[in-house]
Amino acid sequence: MTLTVLDTLDELDRRIVVAMQNDGRASWRAIADAVGSSTATVARRGQNLIQSGTIKVGVMPALGSTGEVDSFLIRITCQPGTSLVVAAELVEHADVRFVTVVTGGYDIIAELVVKGGAIHYPQLIEELQSIEGVERWRSDLIMHVYKVSFDWGRQLFAETLALPDGARGSDESRTPREFAEPEVCSPAHFDAADWKILDSLRDDGRETFQAIADKLGMNESSVRRRFERLRSSKCIDILTLVPAPALGMGAETLLTVKVAPSRMDAVARELAQQPAVRYLAATLDENSLFCEVIMPSAERLYEFINQTLSRLEGVEGWTASMELLFLKRGFIETPWWRTQVNYPAS
């Protein structure tokens, strides 16, 4: 079976992806147990998903691991015909966390993470605003992140999947987990060897501890112990990236929700409970919340806006942009965007 990134996966493939979003480094045997299939079948299918570029597993240090940071939401308008060129330039910049091409009043929305805090922001934007094709640039400080969900597929069982009871394991697997605000990691958790291990896992998050140990001249047990310590300290993010349409989610939308100032925190906490909300943060400008919503269709998006968002006390209005092409998430370039638009490799 050969997959393309625009294919809708069959049910077993989707279950495998969802299990890998829950833990991208889980063994094939553990994933097989979770989805109710054989280890050989799951390993073959999972490896094909990775090799075809349909999914990518990467491991990244959590925000704050290098010290103080401030994040800015960037909205860019481009000269006609230059959106992809500008977006591709942003992908290459190490401080850009995510990049997406969108509809609406802007052409590109991105997040810029500034090491050392906002005082260093001017040094970065001088370089980025000079990218050929950038016409207008609007930036907004992200004051507080309420939710970041890397395993949104698992949260949307009810929308897309019909897992057999034996594969679910428990009632907890059938319902969205309580959201948890991202934790901030301290640089004190890392030493030079830890950084070398993470460098090995950035592009291949499933590389074995033994392979990493051989490459770095370390013991396998030491590599494993260091990784598990960072993981238990919430100092790493394990990302399994997959194009949402492959899981039957065709409506990825970015919302800027204007909220009455006194209701900002309450509205954010209500929205964060929604399984379809993948990312949620409070921004500095216009007492607003920036929200990423993932839905199977425009009709379901309409229902969410009219039956959930519009009924929250304190919501005063919103603007929205449909995501057309996601190029980077969690500091990792998505492996499929260039083939989707036939864009040459860097």
Task: Return the pLDDT at 209.
Answer: 97
Rounded to whole angstroms, how far apart are CA atoms 325 and 290? 18
CB burial readout 133-148, b (16+ within 10 A) else e: bbeeeebbebeebbbb
List, as one string, the DSSP characters of 319-341: EEEEEEEEEEETTEE-TTHHHHH
Rounded to whole angstroms, how far apart are CA atoms 102 and 76? 10
Question: Do residues 84 and 67 touch, judged by C-beta distance below 8 A?
Answer: no
Does pLDDT of 114 surpass 50? yes
Rounded to whole angstroms, how far apart are CA atoms 127 and 130? 5
Task: Return the pLDDT at 143.
Answer: 95
Task: Return the pLDDT at 217.
Answer: 96
List, as one string, the DSSP characters of 7-49: SPP-HHHHHHHHHHHH-TT--HHHHHHHHTS-HHHHHHHHHHH
Question: Do residues 209 and 67 touch, judged by C-beta distance below 8 A?
Answer: no
Taking all residues of the chain, what is their mean pLDDT, rounded to a whole number? 88
Mean pLDDT across 201-215? 96
Span 250-260, pLDDT tens digits: 889 999 999 99
Mean pLDDT across 146-175? 52
Does pLDDT of 107 surpass 90? yes
**Domain 191-234 coded CATH 3.40.50.1980:** no
Task: Return the pLDDT at 169.
Answer: 38
So where are the chain's domains?
191-234
In eight-state DSSP terms, residue 54 is: S
Mean pLDDT across 293-321? 95
Place of tokens 């698992």: 154
Place of tokens 């929200």: 291
CB burial readout 261-291, b (16+ within 10 A) else e: eebbeebbebbbebbbbbbbbbbeeebbbbb
Better pLDDT: 291 or 172: 291
Rounded to whole angstroms, how far apart are CA atoms 54 and 24? 14
Better pLDDT: 212 or 184: 212
Span 252-291, pLDDT tens digits: 999 999 999 999 999 999 999 998 999 999 999 989 999 9
Task: Return the pLDDT at 164.
Answer: 40
Span 17-63, pLDDT tens digits: 999 988 999 999 999 999 999 999 999 999 999 999 899 999 999 98
Q: 28-35 and 11-22 are packed helices; what angle lies between their axes, rounded to 10 degrees? A: 120
Mean pLDDT across 199-215? 96
CA dihedral 23, 26, 32, 36 (to 10 degrees): -30
Mean pLDDT across 283-308? 94
**Closest Cα to residue 332, out of 110, 69, 98, 53?**
98
Task: Return the pLDDT at 165.
Answer: 42
Rounded to whole angstroms, how far apart are CA atoms 74 and 99? 9
Task: Return the pLDDT at 211.
Answer: 97
